[in-house]
Amino acid sequence: MEAQAAYELTMLKNAERYAREAGALVADRMNSPLRIQEKMNKSDLVTAVDVMSESLICRLIRDDYPEHWIYSEETDGAEGDAWQRMLQPREGYGWIVDPIDGTTNYIHAVGHFAISIGIVKNGVPVCGVVHNPLTGDLYTAMRGGGAYRNGEKLAVGQERGLGDALLGTGFQAKDWHPGSCAAKQIGRIAGTARDIRIFGSASLDLCLVAAGRLTGFWHDGLYPWDAAAGIVIVQEAGGKVTNRDGRPYALSDNTLIASNAIVHAELQAVLSTVARDE
């Protein structure tokens, strides 16, 4: 194996370990009283456990890779426009961390949340790990190496049209109102696709696309820490990930469409009939 691939494989294995350690902490604290704070509004929450999970992951990364950069939700998320920052990618390897993706589910003891760790080289995601500590599911992918759940190879679904498609979506906290583009898009998809799910953890929802359980997923305003790991997992399972204009998705994009590739153009066409929010 060439040196770079071997180095990235070691990073991936380490990321799996970090996600499992953080997952154990998060699962362990789930039934204790949680300290909850609102960030932007009532649908944008953080708990003390998010912060503990983040500190643990960042410490583990720094111990092993002191020369790498880290971009993580609860530490870096408040500092300006996340997408704008991704427009000037930092050089070299970096880690993009969501210590709990699906915090609202976590608070409500709904078992669909994950630790998401994306590894990026010169701004491009190269590896991803998404771990749900309650189910034990560990989704992993490395560029060119396939996508896996607990070691089992994944492949996207084979649905041929939107009429057979089960789709996922979600709301950015600021879009959680009836007039948002996201709400109107759901109105357009209703009756066209087989059905829609809003599971509440974008990284895991992307893994469901990779596993062929959801046919596709779209989300406006998804942050880099929600997407960085999951997009590699979808791509490595044979899926397609673009922005709403159909260009290959970049971490600086704030629209995302992921699918089994077959229904992609049809899904994109329906979503594009709704004007973007200002």
Which residues lie near ligand IPD (CB under 6 A)?
A: 98, 101-103, 170-172, 200-202, 226
* CA dist 228 → 68, 186, 225, 232 (Å): 16, 24, 6, 7
CB 58 within 8 A of CB 40: no
What's the helix, strand, coil split of the chain in %, to 5? 35, 25, 40
Among Ca ion, ligand IPD, none, the one that 202 touches (CB under a kind-dependent 5 to 8 A) is ligand IPD
Longest Cα pair distance anywhere in the chain, in angstroms?
52
Among ligand IPD, Ca ion, none, the one that 172 touches (CB under a kind-dependent 5 to 8 A) is ligand IPD
Query: Pairing relation of β-strands 69-72 and 93-101?
Result: parallel
Closer to Ca ion by CB, 96 or 209: give it.
96
Q: Which residues of 7-34 are buried (b: 16+ CB within 10 A; e: fewer)?
A: ebeebbebbbebbbbbbebbbebbeeeb
CB of 73 to Ca ion, least distance (A): 5
Residue of this chain nearest to ligand IPD (CB atom): 170
Tokens of 274: 């709704």
Binding of residue 98 to Ca ion (CB under 5 A):
yes
- Cα–Cα distance for residue pair 147/200, rounded to 1 Å: 22
- Cα–Cα distance for residue pair 86/90, rounded to 1 Å: 8
Binding of residue 54 to Ca ion (CB under 5 A):
no
CB of 278 to ligand IPD, least distance (A): 19
CB of 223 to Ca ion, least distance (A): 8
Among Ca ion, ligand IPD, none, the one that 171 touches (CB under a kind-dependent 5 to 8 A) is ligand IPD
Among Ca ion, ligand IPD, none, the one that 226 touches (CB under a kind-dependent 5 to 8 A) is ligand IPD
Closer to ligand IPD by CB, 39 or 188: give it.
39
CB of 101 to Ca ion, least distance (A): 5
Applying CB under 5 A, which residues contact Ca ion? Answer: 73, 98, 100-101
